[in-house]
Amino acid sequence: MPAFSPASEVILRHSDEFTERRVLFAGDLQDDLPAQLETQLSKVFTQQYHHWQLLSPRLEENARFSLVATADDVSDCDTLVYYWPKSKPEAQYQLQNLLSLLPEGCDLFVIGENRSGVRSAEGMVEAWAKLDKIDSARRCGLYHGKLETRPDFDAESFWHSYEVDGLTIKTLPGVFSRDGLDAGSRLLLSTLSAHTKGKVLDVGCGAGVLSATLASHSPKVRLTLTDVNAAAVAASKATLAANQLEGEVFPSNVFSDVTGRFDMIISNPPFHEGTQTSLDAAQTLIRGAAKHLNTGGELRIVANAFLPYAQVLDETFGSHEVLAQTGRFKVYRAVYGRAAKALRSAK
């Protein structure tokens, strides 16, 4: 991770602006600037577990990870610095939530990369605050305004659902495949056989579609679902409940909070951190999977065909196979202990 993201570098250009402010940082935080910027008070609210992990050692109780912000999360703050995410519906959810709690007259700074669509912030909040662009640098835009009218926020109104193979999938803004099943996950699902047994870990579970589909035709599986996104954790819990399925769902940065071993690990791993391409999560998933698989257990992931995962799989497991592929995606399978067993047999 670089020292600071381009967005944080722009905030640093205005560091003198914040020395006397009591600041709430929120949105797509990707570094520890909130813990380093000189302010009267710095608080962080994030829906991303790995961002909370980065900031909580420094900010302690002033850093909070949750789906919905509460009055306690914004208390004593007179300024919001919001890092624009790549998902406009996610920004709508978070800004409406936060601005419904902050006092009228508070200052609002919105920072984001131009390609993420940060320009639309002006129109999104115009009923509550008039934003003016005050800086443009590092391919980012910085906007400022004052909260004139607090919006109403109804968290329940943001829920969405769709059907997949007779299952109800519940989703929220910011959750991968919010509006329907993506092609990569569909390809991975096509390789999962009925009557699968044992303990299954779904890493980066999103809305829970992979686990729900697997459990629907393999009722003997014991599911564990994890994601870094609070909205995904909530959505997966809701998806399981909507289909009368059981499973343990909790936040984890890949394997950070996972204990024990499993018979199968499944994933459609992300390859972005914000708007930047990043293979870190997927490579951490592959390399760490061996420590969380029973002997003979398998890792099964789907990835864009151009991503270089074959080498990492072979380095970790000794071999891999491609179960299915299209012009865009490949489904990889690697078995823990297979290479070592084959080597012993050859001797």
Tell me which of 120, 136, 155 is where a domain ends. Answer: 155
Do 104 and 206 share a domain, yes or no? no
Number of domains in the chain: 2
pLDDT greater than 70 at residue 341: no
pLDDT at 271: 60
Helices 209-217 and 230-242 meet at what angle, rounded to 10?
30
CATH number at residue 41: 3.40.50.150
Do 341 and 240 share a domain, yes or no? yes
* CA–CA gap between residue 299 and residue 288 (Å, rounded): 10
Do 46 and 112 share a domain, yes or no? yes
Do 60 and 78 share a domain, yes or no? yes
pLDDT at 67: 98
Asked if residue 1 is part of any domain, the answer here is no
Mean pLDDT of 131-148: 97
pLDDT digits (tens, 9 = 90+) for 29-59: 989 999 999 999 999 999 999 999 999 999 9
pLDDT band at residue 277 under the 50/70/90 scheme: very low
Tell me which of 155, 188, 209 is where a domain ends. Answer: 155
Mean pLDDT of 220-229: 96
Tell me which of 114, 132, 155 is where a domain ends. Answer: 155
pLDDT band at residue 181 under the 50/70/90 scheme: confident
Task: Calculate the CA 276 to chain-centre distance.
Answer: 14
In this structure, what token pair is assigned to residue 92? Answer: 């709508």
Mean pLDDT of 279-303: 91
Do 149 and 180 share a domain, yes or no? no
pLDDT greater than 70 at residue 272: no
Asked if residue 118 is part of any domain, the answer here is yes
Percentage with pLDDT > 70 across the chain: 94
Percentage with pLDDT > 90 across the chain: 83
pLDDT at 338: 63
Phi/psi of residue 39, each to 5°? -145, 170
Lowest average pLDDT, out of 88-102, 110-124, 302-316, goes to 302-316
Do 176 and 299 share a domain, yes or no? yes
Contact criterion met (CB below 8 Å) for 262 and 228: no
Asked if residue 98 is part of any domain, the answer here is yes
Do 39 and 68 share a domain, yes or no? yes
pLDDT digits (tens, 9 = 90+) for 57-78: 999 999 999 999 999 999 999 9
pLDDT at 3: 84
Do 143 and 62 share a domain, yes or no? yes
pLDDT at 194: 80
pLDDT at 178: 74
In this structure, what token pair is assigned to residue 304? Answer: 């864009």
pLDDT at 339: 52
pLDDT at 342: 42
pTM of the model: 0.93
Do 257 and 324 share a domain, yes or no? yes
pLDDT band at residue 193 under the 50/70/90 scheme: confident
Do 95 and 129 share a domain, yes or no? yes
Do 190 and 144 share a domain, yes or no? no
At residue 209's C-alpha, the angle toward residues 205 and 210, to 5°, is: 70
Mean pLDDT of 190-197: 87
Residue 75's domain spans which residues? 6-155
